[in-house]
A and B are shown apart, each in its own frame.
Chain A
Amino acid sequence: MKPTVSINDAPASDELEVSVFGPGFGECVVVHLGDGKWMVVDSCLNDSRTEPIALEYLKSLNVDVASQIKLIVVTHWHDDHIRGSGELFCAADSARFVCSAALNSKEFFGIVAASEQVRSVTRDSSASEILTILRENHRRKGRGTTFSQSGPDQWAQDGSPLYRSSGCRNVAVTALSPSAQTITDAAANFAKLLPSVSEQNRRFPRCSPNDQSVALIIESETSSILLGADLEAVSDPERGWQAILNSPLRPQVKCGAIKLAHHGSGNGDHDGIWSALLKPEPLSFVTPFTRGKKPLPSEADIRRLKSRTPHLYCTAWPPSQKPPRRHRSVERTIRAMTKMHRAVPRSVGQIRLRVSMNDDRQPTIATFNGAARL
């Protein structure tokens, strides 16, 4: 008989936990680094859209978020990765804040400044979440007597060490991206998004490159896990996955599990990930993205990924659902007026991986709230 698994059981102090959360839009990864210390990578809101899912989950485990969240990483500023991150950081009083070094430019701060104007019109929150975090960090740094540099605690780039555990656990978190070339290109890409005279005030389009995002590797004595963010494979060898594969700075380990990049899309995939960065048949987790023209992952993506590994899990499956039922007259009009109509799942599924950091016990995987093995 299978043991009962509860969503509210906290991991043991010697267990590495990686919980991947995702509704149909958005993702968040909560990581137990051992000894009650936690890292949160990206943010999305809970089912009722009232609280960041990471806060809800950690509170349910009786984690003191103010003291036990040690690191918050925002991989990139797209709204499916950043919602609620401001609130999360404000609650995590002891956390260091890390974001992509590609954001360190006047042009990106131009986006932030413009979003202050746009927000009143469009309720866009992406860049303003970053500003909330930076303001809070500014306040915290000004609290002590040694006020110096503000901004994030660390601008992450290829090879940046982000966390090292104290004591005997030997847990390390290292950034694998963005590459130096991506950081160089970023300012020009942000400049293209800045508004021009007489243009209408509108929400910023999601068109900045995903190669600005921060992919991470988490290493412990017994296992390593790759978090692919939204990193894509591009033809330029100095950007995206190819840059990571070419980098002498990356940890030379092969991971037993991966949070697949860019919602399992073909763009986020690269043969080199599977041959150079992963063990054979790794545990693979995907979060869907259903807001685009076509939901990700597509059926073809699932077939491709299943040919790579039999251990494929998704936080919300199927990735889109039927729209809510309405007055029949309304439904007839919608049918007549639209070429396509679907709804984004609201419930935030969770895939929870736990691995012992002391011995070679088999890892345990549990799925909750609509997450499923595919």
Chain B
Amino acid sequence: MTTLTLPERVPISEAETHGQLGADHVDSTLNISGGIVQESLLAPTLESGTGWNSQEEQGTASVRPVHLAKPLIRLPEGTLPKKRMLVLQQWEGVVTEVAADSFFAELQDLGDSSQPIEIVEIPIDEVPKDDQSLLASGSIFYWSIGHETSAGGQLRRISEIRMRRTPRWTQQTIRRVIERAEELFETHGQH
């Protein structure tokens, strides 16, 4: 059996981090089980000519890819190694202000509600391009930090900011709000 070992410290290329991590290394002492690594070691021999091309794996494995016309072993479906993610930290954030190249937000720890509210300033570049148009004062987002173990067994630190897609105001809902406002003013306002 081909055995791959996770290097003591695995360098992460710029492409792999997508500019999100800004750190140079993945720490091999992080909280992943040996089981996950072992499972992903089967990957090279199970792929039939299409594997070994993901960014996560480039330049990180010490074995060259093996291209086989037919798999030597066919495991039952569902046992193929998959990417795994271990979330270490997750917040719900509310954008409080958007500046030219960064935004300010309040974060609530989703794993421990006893933690204090945190205030952050984050460069807009850290938000996925598709989500940047959703950045506005009052919009909600989720920020997760964790480790991802690729199919090839590589470990990398990941950080993901995802803006929450909330329903948009429609003509109908706004009409309802106006009607409701008139009703509330009629009941509680002073004319």
Q: Show the binding face of A for B, using Cβ within 8 Å.
A: 24-25, 48, 104-107, 109-110, 112-114, 116-117, 121-122, 131, 134, 138, 149-152, 155, 194-207, 290-293, 320-321, 323-324, 326-330, 332-334, 336-346
Alpha-carbon distance A121/B173, docked complex (angstroms): 14
User: Does B22 sit within 8 A of A, measured CB to CB?
Assistant: yes
Q: A105-B189, A116-B180, A336-B21 are in contact. Are A204 and B138 (CB under 8 A)?
A: yes
6 new A-B contacts, CB < 8 A, other than A122-B140, A200-B134, are A110-B177, A113-B181, A197-B169, A326-B89, A342-B119, A343-B119
Alpha-carbon distance A200/B137, docked complex (angstroms): 11
Q: Show the binding face of B for A, using Cβ within 8 Å.
A: 20-23, 27, 30-31, 88-89, 94, 96-97, 102, 104, 106, 109, 114-123, 126, 134, 136-140, 145, 147, 157, 159, 164-171, 173-174, 176-178, 180-182, 184-185, 187-190
Q: Are B27 and A109 in contact (CB under 8 A)?
A: no
Most chain A beta carbons < 10 A, residue from B157, B184, B190: B184
Alpha-carbon distance A117/B181, docked complex (angstroms): 12
Q: Are B139 and A338 in contact (CB under 8 A)?
A: no
Question: Who on chain A is nearest to B158 by CB?
Answer: A333
Question: Who on chain B is nearest to A202 by CB?
Answer: B138
Q: Are B116 and A346 in contact (CB under 8 A)?
A: yes
Alpha-carbon distance A197/B94, docked complex (angstroms): 22
Question: Who on chain A is nearest to B119 by CB?
Answer: A342
In the complex, chain A residues whose CB is within 8 Å of the CB of B168:
197-201
Q: A109-B181, A109-B189 are in contact. Are A340 and B169 (CB under 8 A)?
A: no
In the complex, chain B residues whose CB is within 8 Å of the CB of A207:
137
Q: Are B119 and A200 in contact (CB under 8 A)?
A: no
Q: A106-B189, A200-B136 are in contact. Are A340 and B181 (CB under 8 A)?
A: no
In the complex, chain A residues whose CB is within 8 Å of the CB of B122:
337-339
In the complex, chain B residues whose CB is within 8 Å of the CB of A345:
116
In the complex, chain B residues whose CB is within 8 Å of the CB of A340:
119-121
Q: A106-B185, A197-B169 are in contact. Are A343 and B116 (CB under 8 A)?
A: yes
Q: Are B177 and A25 in contact (CB under 8 A)?
A: no
Q: Are A134 and B188 in contact (CB under 8 A)?
A: yes
Most chain A beta carbons < 10 A, residue from B104, B116, B176, B190: B116
- Contact among B20, B109, B157 with A329 in the assembled complex (CB-CB below 8 Å): B157
Most chain A beta carbons < 10 A, residue from B23, B123, B170: B23
Q: Are A112 and B181 in contact (CB under 8 A)?
A: yes
In the complex, chain A residues whose CB is within 8 Å of the CB of B145:
329-330, 333-334
In the complex, chain A residues whose CB is within 8 Å of the CB of B20:
337
In the complex, chain B residues whose CB is within 8 Å of the CB of A343:
115-119
Please report whether the interface of chain A is mostly helix, strand, loop or mixed according to DSSP.
Answer: loop
Question: Could you list 6 A-B pairs, sorted by A, with CB under 8 Å?
Answer: A106-B181, A150-B187, A197-B169, A327-B31, A338-B121, A343-B118
In the complex, chain B residues whose CB is within 8 Å of the CB of A320:
119
Give, as a whole number of angstroms, the nearest-CB distance from B96 to chain A: 7
Q: Are B177 and A114 in contact (CB under 8 A)?
A: yes
Alpha-carbon distance A149/B185, docked complex (angstroms): 12
Give, as a whole number of angstroms, the nearest-CB distance from A231 to chain B: 22
Alpha-carbon distance A112/B177, docked complex (angstroms): 9
Give, as a whole number of angstroms, the nearest-CB distance from A151 to chain B: 4
Q: Are A149 and B190 in contact (CB under 8 A)?
A: yes
Question: Who on chain A is nearest to B22 by CB?
Answer: A336
Give, as a whole number of angstroms, the nearest-CB distance from B26 to chain A: 9
Q: Are B181 and A110 in contact (CB under 8 A)?
A: yes
Give, as a whole number of angstroms, the nearest-CB distance from B30 to chain A: 6
Alpha-carbon distance A291/B116, docked complex (angstroms): 11
In the complex, chain B residues whose CB is within 8 Å of the CB of A194:
177
Q: A116-B180, A121-B140, A151-B190 are in contact. Are A201 and B167 (CB under 8 A)?
A: yes
Q: Are B189 and A342 in contact (CB under 8 A)?
A: no
In the complex, chain A residues whose CB is within 8 Å of the CB of B190:
104, 149, 151, 155
Give, as a whole number of angstroms, the nearest-CB distance from B166 to chain A: 4
In the complex, chain A residues whose CB is within 8 Å of the CB of B178:
110, 113
Q: Are A339 and B119 in contact (CB under 8 A)?
A: no
Q: Are A117 and B138 in contact (CB under 8 A)?
A: no
Closest 9 CB pairs of A and B: A336-B22, A202-B138, A113-B180, A110-B181, A203-B138, A340-B121, A151-B188, A109-B184, A201-B166
Q: Are A344 and B118 in contact (CB under 8 A)?
A: yes
